[in-house]
Amino acid sequence: MWVRTRAVVAGFVVLVVIAALGIVLGMREVGERIRLPLTGRSCTVQADGKVALDSHQMANAATIAAIGIQHELPDRAVVVALATAYQESGLRNLTGGDRDSVGLFQQRPSQGWGTPAKIRDPRYAADKFYAALKKVRGWEGMRVTDAAQKVQRSAFPEAYEKWADESEVLTRALLGHATGAVACAFGGDPAMRGEAAAVALTRGLNLDWGLTSAATTAGLTGLTVAAADQRAGWRYAHWLVSHANDHGVKRVRFGDLEWTNRAGSWSRVGDATAQPAEVVAEVFADA
């Protein structure tokens, strides 16, 4: 009887170990899906589909999209980059990860991606990803997950594909194919105010989009950005809303639509027949 009991217990332990191993592997296969917050998503993106993100994820997504334009790459490249960052970090700028991996794309210093400090810079990380993607022959015709895998060399090569739909929505919005598509609502005191906010916002916009004199501070309470056309205007407008929480943006206006921090949405405020020439952003004044 004692021998039989021990056999039963041993068998149960084996089953528990197998189940635990399955859970661990399953979690790795799911990847960063479990890291995405289930509550507190303050930004909504709607462009032939809907995506909800928090302010940090939204800002990182906007920067990734902008750097893709700097590389003069097609929209498909931005979809691949966003899907990769979704899987690798949940669109978060992580301080660590598997082995020595860090940042949005979980790039490894030991594999030649750069120093940990550099990789933790979202602009640098996105720039390195696009540079590597451009070296992949025929990536334009690949599935999202296959193109991403050529760059990342993940142990789970199919994992990127599950983020393709969300990345398509974000790309359409952030590259200006949709109007008033990024709406964020924030509570509490802004992270920055006044001149410091305006200067930081202008610098960030210039660096992400590769602008020079297109963005200028306006009375040290905001900035204006020249828009060559509707698509360019909505690229900048959506970027500004995406970075509103970390740069103290109070309102953004383009054409006859305006987003405000208080409302957290876009509303009509002007003449719909007017041809917009610039995007205007206002930051919170010093307290």
Residues 187-207 pLDDT 10s: 888 889 999 999 999 999 999
Percent of the chain beyond pLDDT 70? 82
Q: How confident is the model at residue 2 (pLDDT cuts 50, 70, 90)?
A: very low
Retrieve residue 30's tokens.
Answer: 């799911």
Backbone dihedral angles phi then psi of residue 147, each to the nearest 5 degrees = -65, -45
Q: How confident is the model at residue 274 (pLDDT cuts 50, 70, 90)?
A: low
Residue 178, SS3 per DSSP: coil
What average pLDDT does this structure show over 236-252?
96
CA separation for the pair 225, 255 (Å, rounded): 12
130 and 81 in contact (C-beta within 8 Å)? yes
What is the SS3 assignment for 182? strand
Whether 239 has a pLDDT exceeding 50, the answer reads: yes
pLDDT at 216: 65
Count Cβ atoms below 10 Å from residue 62 Cβ, excluding itself: 25
Residue 38 pLDDT greater than 70, yes or no: no
Q: Is the pLDDT of residue 45 over 60?
A: yes
- Which structure tokens are listed for 222? 């905001």
Instruction: Return the number of other C-beta atoms located less than 10 Å from residue 135's C-beta.
Output: 9
Rounded average pLDDT over 223-237:
95
Contacts of 20 (CB under 8 A, 6+ apart): none
pLDDT at 152 (0 to 100): 95
Residue 219 confidence (pLDDT): 63
Higher pLDDT pick, 39 / 71: 71
pLDDT band at 212 (very low <50, low <70, confident <90, very high): confident
pTM score of the predicted model: 0.84
3-state secondary structure 38-78: CCCCCEEEECCCEEEECHHHHHHHHHHHHHHHHCCCCHHHH
pLDDT recorded at residue 90: 98
Tokens matching residue 235: 């690229």
Confidence band, pLDDT 50/70/90 cuts, at residue 83 = very high
Q: Which residue has the higher pLDDT, 98 or 16?
A: 98
213-228 pLDDT, tens digit per residue, is: 656 666 668 899 999 9
d(CA 279, CA 224): 6
